[in-house]
Structure 1
């Protein structure tokens, strides 16, 4: 699936094998019809004690406020709304650098960005964030600031007015051209 849940499950296996003493648990939200396949993979990898599945209709926001980390393992993505929700919740983010995600987040400043479709890269990004509480706090704070400055209603309206002004200016410039007289 393009959501990358299987990549995250495989990354979790790598984390559990690499850091046996580390308490690392995962709650998957938003998996749709992939649930049976994902549950089977979790069982076959011996991760049933580490990975839980939220009911598919669950609102992710309450989970964000309880999480130590939000991971977006997408294989392709536009501008994911859930990413903006995670930024607003102030939770540190690890995400794949696909689609529009690098236009929203900056590696090492507002998140840890990793290569898509690579569970090892995802596992390394998760470890990087979990092993550096200072990085996690800084990224979460800066992501929240970016959300407020770039994605607020005020910013949206200001940008919309700028676009309208540019369109009106171009229409006025075009109307000053010599146009044929209307037919009578």
Structure 2
């Protein structure tokens, strides 16, 4: 049978791409796409092309990653600052650039990775009637909290607008959890859904490599209210009352104005000596090397699927405390693997962090359970075959 042409429309950036482009800008995005690429780059079952915004030089670049063709496209007008690209109403620059590449490839199927970011998802509205389209739900901006800043409110509104339109009009979706299925039903009454999940980045380090821990707590994620960073800082203030030497490391980037707000919050609570701000790290492995030096990973996220960071922590044998939102509770379906907390319940968050830090026997049991689960249920080798099967089904439905 003739190989099918598959196009991924997504957003990703990593060190390898930076080196290929020859740009000195250190930037990475969507590491789950990088991991998925690794599963496909040496396969020959399909002709795979990837289209993504060029975050490095904001122009068109073409290259190959083994058997995969990669097209990086312009995503904003050249005179618009990078930080202002989300101010657009209709994302014409990004849309036209992607549509031009799609028209050249003429794929058999388009796989959109995420409907929530119009910077690259916007062109799919023009492609739904032309090609079979599969949409992977990466998250829902509509579940995020409304920011105080009026500009941020506009950006959120615009992203929700595109998210709603795409989720309403598309027919085929991949979802990772039952919670995502329920939320998708709020947009689309008759979606065809397939179970699937992204690969987990395997850390090169483990918690067991660091017998003497430098930190009690690690937080690594985007630094935002929705990821629960404020909840964690308030919990640390309470923990300090019983443990004055409690230590935490915060890893990740975020909007500069919000980072300043968080740093001011830390000073107000007198936590400057208790919290280390590591900031953005060049690679994920750099993140892991820091995270593995902590006794517990805490993620009080307000909404999520099954975060890759939790799965990574499970691989590293770091005990996890996380809010019971989205697909996170499903990780405890077979056996207790992580310590769950009610969303925005600071009292419980404080108690559960102390439980994990102090009850070593219980904590070790959960770590062992989590490591067994991540090596079984989330086996990366199964993802490739599953996606090929989904592609075949979507293509068959269009005949």
> For this structure pair, what is the TM-score category when the shorter chain's length is used for normalisation?
0.7 to 0.9
Q: Is the aligned partner of 1:16 residue 2:240?
A: yes
Q: Shift of residue 7 of structure 1?
A: 0.1
Contact 1:77 1:100 in 2 (8 A): yes
Query: Structure 1 residues 64 and 57 mapped into 2: Cα distance closer, same or farther (>3 Å)?
Result: closer
In 2: Cα distance, 1:67 partner to 1:37 partner: 25
Contact 1:108 1:135 in 2 (8 A): no
TM-score under structure 2 length normalisation: 0.39
Query: Structure 1 residues 107 and 145 mapped into 2: Cα distance closer, same or farther (>3 Å)?
Result: closer
Superposition pairs for residues 95-110 of structure 1, below 5 Å?
95-105=322-332, 109-110=336-337
Structure 2 alignment gaps of length 5 or more? 1-224
SS class of match (1:134) = helix
Tell me the equivalent position of 1:151.
Answer: 378
Query: Structure 1 residues 144 and 78 mapped into 2: Cα distance closer, same or farther (>3 Å)?
Result: same
Structure 1 alignment gaps of length 5 or more? 172-184
In 2: Cα distance, 1:137 partner to 1:125 partner: 15
In 1: Cα distance, 2:313 partner to 2:243 partner: 28
Q: Shift of residue 108 of structure 1?
A: 7.7
Q: Is the aligned partner of 1:78 residue 2:305?
A: yes
Superposition pairs for residues 1-184 of structure 1, below 5 Å?
1-17=225-241, 19-20=242-243, 23-33=245-255, 34-57=258-281, 59=284, 60-105=287-332, 109-157=336-384, 159=386, 167=393
Tell me the equivalent position of 2:71.
Answer: none
SS class of match (1:95) = strand
Query: Structure 1 residues 37 and 107 mapped into 2: Cα distance closer, same or farther (>3 Å)?
Result: farther
User: Residue by residue, what CA displacement relative to the aligned partner does 1:6-45 show, whole Å, maximum 9, x if unpaired?
Assistant: 000000011111x136x42111112412211111000000
TM-score under structure 1 length normalisation: 0.80
Work out the number of aligned pairs and report it. Answer: 168
In 2: Cα distance, 1:153 partner to 1:77 partner: 21
Contact 1:11 1:119 in 2 (8 A): yes
Which is richer in helix? Answer: 1
In 2: Cα distance, 1:112 partner to 1:69 partner: 10
